Chains A and B, each alone.
Chain A
Amino acid sequence: MAKKPRVLIAKIGLDGHDRGVKIVARALRDGGIEVIYLGIHNTPEEIVSAAMQEDVDAIGLSVHSAAHMTLFKEVLRLLRQRRATGMVLFGGGIIPEEDIRALKKLGAKEIFTPGRPRQEIIEFVKSLSGSRRQKTKRPASR
C-alpha cells in the first residue's frame, strides 16, 4: 500500500517569518508528498479544523515567535479533544533544545531546527504513512 502521505503545513500564531516554512512545503511537495499549505497567521483552532477536514496524516507547524510551548500544547489538546490522536504533529523554528525535549514529551513527534536538510524532513514524513491508520484504531490510548 503505497499511499501518498498527506500533510498540512502552516505557520501558527502571529509571526510572519515564512521563509523556512515555504521551503519545507515546497520540498515536501517536490518529494512526492501531498501538501496542504495554509499560509501564515493561523490559530490552533484553524489548524486543527483544516487538518481534520483535509484528513491529513500529519501537521507540520513553524514558529519563530517563541510562542511554541503554548501553541503546540493547544494544538495537541484540540487533537485529543477531537479524537484525532493518530495525526502526527511535528514542527520547526527558533526553538531551544530544552523546549524541544518538552515538546516531544507533550506529544510532538519531531522538531526540526535551522540547518537540518530538507531531505531529512521528507524522509520523516514518508516514514509516517501507513502508521496512522493503525494508531487511530486505538483511540483509548490517552
Chain B
Amino acid sequence: MTAKKRVFGNLSGTEIKDVYGPQDIQDLDHARDLGSPGDYPFTRGVYPTMYRRRLWTMRQFAGFGAAEETNRRYHYLLKHGNTGLSVAFDMPTLMGYDSDLPKSKGEVGRCGVAVDSLADMETLFRGIPLDQVSVSMTINGPAIVLFAMYLVAAERQGVDFEKLRGTLQNDILKEYIAQKEWICPPAPALKLINDTIRFCVESVPHYHPISISGYHIREAGSTAVQELAFTLYDGLTYVGSGIETGLKVDDFAPRLSFFFNAHNDFFEEIAKYRAARRLWATEMKRRFSPRDPASLALRFHSQTAGCTLTAQQPHNNIIRVTLQALAAVLGGTQSLHTNSLDETLALPSEEAVKIALRTQQIIAHESGVPNTIDPLGGSYYVEWLTNRMEAEAKAYFDKLDETGGMARAIELGFPQSEIHRAAMAYQKEVESGERIIVGVNAYAEREGRPVKILKIKPDVERRQILRLKERKKRRSAKRVTGALEWLTRAAEQDEYLMPPILEAVRAEATIGEICGVVRRVYGEYRETAAV
C-alpha cells in the first residue's frame, strides 16, 4: 500500500464517503421528495408502470452517405429489433447548406446522411410507415426545415399528422454552448423553435417538438452536475420563451423531452436522472404553475458517452457501453442509444451496431432490471447523491438567474468556459494517471489487428450533387421563387413561418435555399474564438 491517502471522487469532483447511512438522508421525506412513480415530483419515474408495461424505445442514431444507404441501415436496424429511428444528418445539412456549396466540399454524407430536399427525405423513409415507427431527428439550426420535409414525406405516404410520433432535437441553446452547428443568432433562432412548437400544438399532437439536450454539453467536457444544470435551465428558457409568444404552458410543456448523456460513473449517472426529474418538476411548478401534471414530468432519451470510448483496445468499449446503458435504464430512461465499439474511428459498421443493439436487448430481457421501478430508490448513497446533485444544479440556476438568463450567459461565455475548465481538469486527471482509463493510461498494450470499419463510398458527394442538379431542373422554378418570396416577407414581418416553409418544401426548394432566406433576413451567428 502507498502511504498517500486516496481520495474517492466522482466525475463532478464530489468526494465520496466510505459508506452512507440513514444520517445522510435524514431530511428525506418520502412523499415530498420521492413520491410514487408517475406522481409528483417524479423522482422515481414518469410513469406508474415504467418498463413493466412497455420497455424503453431502442433507438439507434444512424445516418451516412446518401438517403438510400441510410434507408438500408434503417431497415437493417428495424429487422434486428430496433424499435425507433433516429436520423444523423451530415454537416452541411446540420448547417443548412446544400451539398453543392463550396463549404460542403468533403463533408457530404460523411458523418451523417445528406438531405438536400424533400426527395431525399422521402427516400430516407422508403418502406418505413411513419405512422408506425417513431422518428427522432438530430437537427437544430435548420430544424424547422427538416421537420417540414418530414411532415410532407409523411403526407405523401398518406399518413395523418395526428399519427406521427417522434422527436425533433431543435435545441439551439446547447448549440451555442457546446455542439456549435447553427444558422442565426439566439433571438430569431428561438422564434423558429416557437413556430415549430406552435405547429405541433396545433397539428401534430403526439410529436415532441424539442429535445433539450445535455448530451453534447457533456461530450464537450462538462461534469454531470453542469450537464444537469445547463440542460434544465435551457428547458426553462424554452418554456419562458414559448409563454412569451402567447403559448399556454400546458399546451406544450407535456410535449417537451430531454436528452441526457450516460457516462462512466454509474451511480452519479443514476442520481443525475433522478435529480433531473425532481428538479424539473419543482422548478416548473415554482416558475410557471402549470395545471396539467404532465407539464411537470421530465421524459428523456439517453445515449452512452461517445467521449468515453477509446481507440485503444476497442472491444473494451462494449463493456463501457453496457455499464453506461445499465445506468440509463436504472435511471428510468424512455429511450436509449448505445454506442458502437468502433465509434472513435468512424461511423459504426453493421456488425458493431448490432452488438450495441444486442447490449440493450440483453439488459431488457436477461438482466431482470426492468422488473421493478427505480430499484435503487431508497439506497442511502443514491438518495444522498440525488439530493447533492440537485442542490449543486440549483446553485447554477441561481447564478444563471442573476446573470439575466441563459442567452445572456452564453453571450458572456459563462457555460462555455465552465465546460472548458472541466474538460481541462479531466484531461489532466487522465494524463497524470489519477483517473485510470483501461487500455490508455493503464494496461496498455501493443495494438492488435485494427477493427473493420465502415467505409463511406468515395463518390457519394458527386452522386448527391448530380441528383440535386437533376431535381432542380425538374421542379417548377416559378413555384420555388414564389414560396421563397413568401418566406422572405413572412420572416421580415416576423410572421408565423411554418406555412411558407411547408410550401417551399412542397415546391422542392432545397435546404440551402430556405436557410439562405433565414440567413439573409436574420443574419448569421458567429462565435468569437477563445481558449
Q: Mark A residues whose CB is within 8 Å of B.
A: 13-19, 22-23, 25-26, 29, 35, 37-41, 43, 64-67, 69-71, 74, 94, 96-98, 113-115, 117-119
Contacts and interface: CB of A to CB of B under 8 A. Distances in A.
Looking at chain B's contact residues, the main secondary structure is: loop
A22 B531 contact: yes
Looking at chain A's contact residues, the main secondary structure is: loop
Interface string B175-192: 100011100000000000
Given A14-B94, A16-B180, A115-B310, A23 B424 contact: yes
A29 B530 CA distance: 12
Contacts of B344: 94, 113-114
Interface in B27-58: none
Interface in B412-441: 420, 423-424, 427, 431, 437, 440
Contact of B220 (A19, A35, A41): A19
Interface in B346-374: 346-347
B456 interface: yes
Most chain A beta-carbon contacts within 10 A, residue among B180, B181, B312: B180
A117 B431 contact: yes
B322 interface: no
A13 B346 contact: no
Contact of A67 (B91, B221, B527): B91
A20 to B, nearest CB: 9
Contact of A14 (B103, B310, B420, B450): B103
A113 B344 CA distance: 9
A138 B39 CA distance: 75
Interface string B94-121: 1101000011111100110000000000
Contact of B106 (A35, A70, A96): A70
A71 B531 contact: no
Given A14-B97, A16-B181, A114-B311, 11 more contacts: A14-B91, A16-B179, A18-B180, A18-B220, A19-B307, A19-B423, A39-B527, A40-B180, A65-B91, A96-B345, A113-B311
B61 to A, nearest CB: 15
Contacts of A66: 110-111, 346-347, 456
Contacts, number: 103
A95 to B, nearest CB: 8
A98 B180 CA distance: 28
B219 interface: yes
B453 interface: yes
Contacts of B528: 39
A15 B312 CA distance: 24
Given A19-B221, A19-B423, A14 B181 contact: yes
Interface string B308-335: 0011100000000000000000000000
Q: How large is the interface on B (under 10, 10 to 19, 20 to 34, 35 or more residues)?
A: 35 or more
Contact of A38 (B91, B105, B529): B529
Contacts of A19: 219-221, 307, 423
Nearest to B427: A23
B235 interface: no
15 contacts: A14-B104, A14-B107, A14-B181, A17-B219, A26-B531, A35-B531, A39-B527, A39-B528, A39-B529, A67-B111, A69-B106, A70-B107, A94-B344, A115-B312, A115-B437
B92 interface: yes
Given A39-B528, A65-B110, A15 B91 contact: yes
Given A13-B107, A96-B346, A115-B311, A37 B453 contact: no
Contacts of A22: 420, 423, 531
Contacts of B437: 115
A74 B103 CA distance: 12
Nearest to B181: A16
Contacts of B106: 13, 67, 69-71, 74
A119 B529 contact: no
Nearest to B528: A39
Nearest to A12: B106
Given A16-B180, A114-B344, A67 B531 contact: no
Contacts of A67: 91, 106-107, 110-111
A18 B307 CA distance: 12
The 5 closest A-B pairs by CB, nearest first: A16-B180, A39-B529, A70-B106, A14-B91, A67-B106
A70 to B, nearest CB: 3
Contacts of A38: 529
Contact of A65 (B102, B107, B221, B531): B107
Contact of B531 (A25, A41, A96, A115): A25
B26 to A, nearest CB: 39
A119 B111 contact: no
A57 B127 CA distance: 54
Contacts of B221: 19
A26 B424 contact: yes
